């Protein structure tokens, strides 16, 4: 039976259990090697959602349909932090778990690690499998370009139509304007780094000579 480990826990900051600061990676990495005729191909990719994890796993499986095992581990950070390790038929905790441990030791989050194995006919034993899967992902992490967490606010601003032109132009310059709608009033949705939210609000008040209030819809984290 395929074995899996799933851990779900609450978190409100980008720190691991030991309080160490965590990073993510900028781009997907790949590492390949062989031991005792078994071929190991490792991938390490940046992800932010379960949907992105699933899409990347599907890509790996589609591109390696003859692989004996496709094992993986991932860590996602948000208000809820999800960690999962999957052995895909290898002996329990000899594949996904050591990969997950490497991600933790490297203080990484919002990443998925995948190792595709083509069995070469010679068994490696539990210890050999643990070392092989761990090495494959460690070699990926050793070449990773790290990104750092920045706290963002998604904001909503409703204003009169007369002021909407000036406000829209300003938001396009200083933030990411994600949506705008017009009716009896104008409604803007935009995202910006948290340290800019107050400054943007104050500048809008100055430019329009009004008491427009910026509503923070949600706060979230990006890795830049």
Tell me, yes or no, whether 26 and 53 share the same domain.
Answer: yes
- DSSP state at residue 193: E
Tell me, yes or no, whether 138 and 156 share the same domain.
Answer: no
Determine phi and psi for 12, rounding to 5 degrees: -120, -5
Domain boundary among 146, 169, 192: 146
Domain boundary among 123, 146, 169: 146
pLDDT at 22: 82
Short-list 78, 98, 77, CA closest to 86: 98
CATH number at residue 61: 3.30.230.30
Summarize pLDDT for 65-89 with one digit per residue, the tens: 999 999 999 999 864 568 999 999 9
Summarize pLDDT for 12-33 with one digit per residue, the tens: 344 555 445 689 999 999 999 9
pTM > 0.85: no
Mean pLDDT of 156-164: 92
Vertex 85 angle, CA 140 and 146, to 5°? 35
Q: Which domain holds residue 211?
A: 149-223
217 with 156: CB under 8 angstroms?
A: yes
Cα torsion through 8, 12, 18, 22, rounded to 10: 100
Q: Judge whether residue 184 has pLDDT over 90.
A: yes
139 with 29: CB under 8 angstroms?
A: no
Q: What is the distance in angstroms between the CA of the first residue and the CA of the last residue of the chain?
A: 40
Vertex 177 angle, CA 171 and 182, to 5°? 90
Domain boundary among 146, 176, 210: 146
């Amino acid at each position: 039976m395929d074995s899996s480990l799933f851990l779900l826990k609450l978190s409100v900051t980008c720190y691991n259990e030991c309080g160490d600061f965590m990073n993510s990676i900028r781009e997907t990495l790949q590492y390949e090697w062989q031991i005792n005729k078994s071929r190991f191909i490792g991938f390490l990719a940046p992800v932010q959602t379960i949907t992105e994890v699933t899409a990347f796993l599907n890509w790996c499986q589609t591109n390696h349909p003859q692989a004996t095992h496709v094992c993986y581990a991932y860590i996602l950070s948000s208000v809820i932090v999800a960690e999962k390790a999957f052995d895909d038929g290898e002996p329990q905790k000899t594949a996904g778990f050591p990969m997950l441990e490497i991600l933790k030791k490297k203080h990484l989050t919002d990443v998925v690690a995948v190792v595709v194995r083509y069995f070469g006919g010679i068994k490696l034993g539990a210890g050999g499998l643990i070392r092989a899967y761990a090495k494959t992902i460690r070699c990926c992490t050793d070449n990773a370009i790290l990104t750092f967490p920045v706290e963002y606010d998604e904001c909503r601003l409703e204003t009169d139509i007369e002021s909407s032109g000036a406000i829209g132009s300003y938001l396009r310059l200083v933030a990411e304007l994600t949506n705008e709608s017009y009716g009896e009033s104008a409604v803007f949705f935009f995202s910006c780094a948290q340290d800019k939210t107050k400054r943007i609000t104050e500048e809008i008040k100055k430019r329009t000579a009004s008491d427009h209030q910026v509503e923070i819809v949600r706060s979230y984290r990006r890795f830049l």
